[in-house]
Amino acid sequence: MNAPQDAWAGLLAKRLVDRWRSTALSYIKISPGTYNETTGTISLTETTVTGAGAVLNSTQQERDGVMQDHELVVWIDHIAVPWPVSTNDRLGYLGKRWKITEIGPTYGSGGEESTSPAYITTLDGRVITTLSGAPLIVQGSGGGSGANTFNMYASKVTARAE
């Protein structure tokens, strides 16, 4: 069964990321390929997802006229980029590649059984009701089967310029 917050949290995360989504931001998933016995190497496969999320900030710190650090902080949308994300992967932004150095926090739900109803509410917290006054309740997709489903919404990712 889905967690009660699935009724609103996934939509809210998407709405927040969409508000500041950057089409210049891409997520580059790096997957190991097969071992080549002739060269003794393992090829890497890169899959790029454009418009992967929202850029929070980009900082560049210098000392004595020498660039020391260039860092990027983004929110990755897990509707666009499948969860989990990895520090083996890269970001593409403004013509540069960025090495992912930190992932966290990641927001999601699931894995626990919920027996309490999840009411559909407005953005200001009021419960939405039918004309007769009955509250609208979201029913999980698990149907009481005990399925533990996880729904990840968004992850905060920090990366450094390569």
Residue 18 lies inside a defined structural domain of this protein: yes
Residue 139 lies inside a defined structural domain of this protein: no
Domain that holds residue 26: 4-35+42-110+150-161
C-alpha 130: how far from chain center: 34
DSSP character string of the chain = ---GGGGTHHHHHHHHHHHTEETT-EEEEEEEEEEETTTTEEEEEEEEEES-EEEEEEEEEEETTEEEEEEEEEEEETTTSPSPP-TTSEEEETTEEEEEEEEEEEEEEESS---S-EE-B-TTSPBPB-TTSPBPEEPPTTTTS----EEEEEEEEEEEE-
Residue 141 lies inside a defined structural domain of this protein: no
**pLDDT tens string 95-128:** 999 999 999 877 776 555 555 667 788 877 788 8
Give the integer Cα–Cα distance in Å for 105 and 149. Answer: 19
Residue 61 lies inside a defined structural domain of this protein: yes
Task: Give the pLDDT of residue 12.
Answer: 67
Q: How confident is the prediction for the chain on average, in pLDDT?
A: 80
Residue 145 lies inside a defined structural domain of this protein: no
Residue 123 lies inside a defined structural domain of this protein: no
Residue 134 lies inside a defined structural domain of this protein: no
Name which of 162, 152, 161, 156 is nearest 53 in CA terms.
Answer: 156
- Please report, for the domain that includes residue 63, its CATH number: 2.40.10
Amino acid at 83: W
Q: Which of 7-11, 93-97, 112-116, 149-153 has the lowest mean pLDDT?
A: 112-116
Residue 121 lies inside a defined structural domain of this protein: no
Whether pTM > 0.75 for this model: the answer is no
